[in-house]
Amino acid sequence: MNIRKLNKLVLFGLMFATPFVQAQITHVDMRVEGMT
Amino acid sequence: MKQHLGRQSGVQKVEVSLIDGKVDVTPKEDGQIDPAQLLKATYDSGVSVAEMDVTARGKVVKDSSGNFALQVSPNRSYQFAGNDLSQGLESLAGSPTVVTLRGQLYKKPGGKKKPDNSQPLKLTILEVQKKE
């Protein structure tokens, strides 16, 4: 019973956490001036 | 400058091309990278930034003022600078759809105007790569 509850908790946790795990800046590029 | 940028939080790798003045920054997967901090760090190293483009994944959100933005982490989002591409994404606000896009966060003002770093960066969408 406790394991079932734990599984549900993990599942709900993953459902809510996933969108934020996926969201991120994956690359940044800059064009700069005055570099020597 | 490479070392200066490499020390910023959330930065995994920095590649600098002296020939064409390009700086490529690969973020860590921890989502801690802060483009505004990168701009500041670049200026602090004595180099001026002409343009900053990003590729980002996130959800479209609408704030209390009715502005649309891309949320790239729970506490960081970038308001869209309105264009045709951003208007096409407005219907996704509040939905679980994750969009991947390429956009411009900074462009040096024309003329001899001093860059204003006090304003929050706005995202001009250049390309919508994926909706999932």
Reported ipTM exceeds the 0.90 cut: no
A1-36 pLDDT tens trace: 678 888 888 777 666 655 544 788 999 999 998 876
What domains, with CATH codes, occur in chain B?
A: 1-48 (3.30.70.100), 50-132 (2.40.50.200)
Q: How many CB pairs under 8 A join A and B?
A: 102
Residue in A23, A28, A30 nearest the CB of B58: A23
- What is the pTM (predicted TM-score) of this model? 0.78
When mean pLDDT is compared across B2-6, B14-18, B55-59, the lowest value belongs to B2-6
User: 3-state SS string over chain B?
Assistant: CHHHHHCCCCEEEEEEECCCCEEEEEECCCCCCCHHHHHHHHHHCCCEEEEEEEEEEEEEEECCCCCEEEEEECCEEEEECCCHHHHHHHHHCCCCCEEEEEEEEEECCCCCCCCCCCCCCCEEEEEEEEEC
Distance of residue A36 Cα from the nearest chain B Cα, in angstroms: 7
Distance in Å, alpha carbon of A7 to nearest chain B alpha carbon: 23
pLDDT tens readout for residues B53-89: 999 999 999 988 889 999 998 888 999 998 999 898 9
